[in-house]
Chain A
Amino acid sequence: MKTIYVLWLRQIKRFLRSPTRIVGALGQPLLYFLAMGFGFGSIFRQAGAGNYIDFLAPGIMGMAIIFSAVFSGMDLIWDRQFGFLKETLVAPVSRFNIMLGRILGGATTAGCQGFIVILIAILVGFRPHDPWLLPLVFLVGVLVAFLFAAFGMLLGTLMRDMQGFPLIMNFLIMPMFFLSGAMFPLDNVPTALQVIALFDPLSYGVDALRYLLTGVTHFSLALDIGVIVGLSMLLVVLASSAFGRMQV
């Protein structure tokens, strides 16, 4: 328990101590939000689909979460290259707890990143349909972040260095974001795209956030949470087995 806590705390401290990283990681989602939100807003409205800013905000929150959560998991590669990982691996503590502490730390910080995005969105004109649900939005954000932090952790154990990073970026994270329904409603897209979105875990994350923020859902909140929790457990098992076998 203490192991989990110190590793979690370490992630939090590192997060709070690099404000440039926090601001840097906000740049991309905010750019998307402002450019897309205001750029496509009028077309969206003319098509009779309502307020695009409202539609887009949860998707952009999902974007901030998936990026910072996966990267937090992949921090393992840096710790391995810079030696700190050895310090934890020679200690008489279980690897599962080391891993869980790291994932929880990454989930918390990525959840915060996502929540900051929503707060900024509110500043520029986004209106959540029920502000009292915001704490729940934060919690579900952390839950979604947990899934992707575990995923990043799994990737981190499988990679020796950052050489494969562009591959992960362009063939996993970007497609997951673009095909998740973060930027467009999944209701009327071609069947192929709908089927792909079914296999994209971020679809469920974004859908859950969208339901809590705007009251609109494509799947259903229960299905969303079920898929996120189930998949998280599967990824923890996979990451734990990979991390347990890892040698430095």
Chain B
Amino acid sequence: MKDAEADQRAGLFKLSEMIDVQHLVKRYGDFEAVKDVSFNVPEGEIFAFLGPNGAGKSTTIKMLTTLLRPTSGRIVINGHDAARDAFAIRRSFGIVFQDPSLDEELTAWENMEFHGVLYDMPRDLRHKRIDELLKFVDLQDRTHSRVRDFSGGMKRRLEIARGLMHQPKIIFLDEPTLGLDPQTRNHMWSYLKSLNAEQGTTIFFTTHYMEEAAKIAQRIAIIDRGVIVATGTTEELKAQTGTDSLEAAFLELTGKAIRDEDSSSLDRIRNMSRMWGRNR
């Protein structure tokens, strides 16, 4: 009987961990993008994942969202092992990517509809959510405009609306507020906070704005050169480094040298694409 209780408690404990990452490694040839990362995020937490450019943030998010297979290590999300049951994990989360992922030839409404169909939302709910969310990000007047005519900020807002559309248990946001004005930023965070408070949605985000992380996140992990260098609340991180702001603590932990991000061939491709007359 006692054992059964203990098992049950262990089971409950495990379930309350929304993200559980153990010894995660990603190697590209000789280069280790992620060296040995372990952390966990309990259900219902707002968790910030911070680090300088090229620290391994995006690589980690790609592995958490099943886009990339780890070289080694274990990822469990919402009780599902990523190596065995990626499909179940994909049902659990929504993501707002760092770089654009909209179809610019389609309208705002069509991008949302496409998403709703992929997530198997019933038609009525789909259309209701599209209306709600486009209103929320203030794009209701541009519902049927093609995304390619949108400004950068509008595209960003549409991406956010789309990521929230299917009401996932966990939301990944990779630098969601990049390029947003303070009004929209505020608006978005208050929505996410109420989602977190009312529905217990777990929120995992990265950002370069330290005040944002300090204000929003309940707990923070700082990653540098593929290793987690510190985890804790803002207060704990400040105490640990003997500094008086999260920004100072961050600089103390990761150093002051400026990092280069690996340049991709994206710009070259964009030029080529323009040459071929595709307006993306």
In the complex, chain A residues whose CB is within 8 Å of the CB of B24 = none
A29 to chain B, nearest CB (A): 18
In the complex, chain A residues whose CB is within 8 Å of the CB of B106 = 10, 13-14
Asked if B118 and A6 sit within 8 Å, CB to CB, the answer is yes
Compute how far the CA of A84 lies from the CA of B106 in the bound complex, rounded to whole angstroms. Answer: 11
Asked if B114 and A10 sit within 8 Å, CB to CB, the answer is yes
Of all chain A residues, which has the CB nearest B95?
A: A90
User: What's the A-B contact tally at a CB cutoff of 8 Å?
Assistant: 84
In the complex, chain B residues whose CB is within 8 Å of the CB of A20 = 277
Minimum-distance CB pairs A-B, first 5 = A83-B101, A91-B118, A92-B90, A92-B91, A6-B117
Contacting residues of chain A (95-130) with chain B, CB-CB under 8 angstroms = none
Contacting residues of chain B (193-246) with chain A, CB-CB under 8 angstroms = none
In the complex, chain A residues whose CB is within 8 Å of the CB of B118 = 3, 6, 87-88, 91-93
The answer to whether residues A84 and B103 also contact, given A13-B110, A90-B65, A92-B90 and a CB cut-off of 8 A, is yes
Compute how far the CA of A128 lies from the CA of B255 in the bound complex, rounded to whole angstroms. Answer: 75
Asked if B103 and A81 sit within 8 Å, CB to CB, the answer is no
B115 to chain A, nearest CB (A): 7
Majority secondary structure, A binding face: helix
Asked if A17 and B117 sit within 8 Å, CB to CB, the answer is no
Q: Enumerate chain B interface residues (CB-CB to A < 8 A).
A: 62, 65-69, 87-88, 90-91, 93, 95, 97, 99-106, 110, 114-115, 117-120, 146, 162, 265-266, 268-269, 272-273, 277-278, 280
Asked if B269 and A81 sit within 8 Å, CB to CB, the answer is yes
Compute how far the CA of A160 lies from the CA of B87 in the bound complex, rounded to whole angstroms. Answer: 25
- Which residue in A83, A89, A248 is a CB contact (below 8 Å) of B100? A83
Interface size class of A (residues with CB under 8 A): 20 to 34
Of all chain A residues, which has the CB nearest B66?
A: A90
- Which residue in A10, A78, A161 is a CB contact (below 8 Å) of B278? A78
In the complex, chain B residues whose CB is within 8 Å of the CB of A191 = none
A45 within 8 A of B: no
Of all chain A residues, which has the CB nearest B114?
A: A6
Of all chain A residues, which has the CB nearest B162?
A: A87
The answer to whether residues A10 and B117 also contact, given A92-B87, A161-B265 and a CB cut-off of 8 A, is no
Asked if B120 and A162 sit within 8 Å, CB to CB, the answer is no
A-B contact pairs, 17 of them (CB 8 A): A3-B117, A6-B114, A14-B106, A21-B278, A82-B100, A83-B97, A83-B99, A84-B101, A87-B102, A87-B103, A90-B65, A90-B67, A90-B93, A92-B87, A92-B118, A93-B118, A162-B272
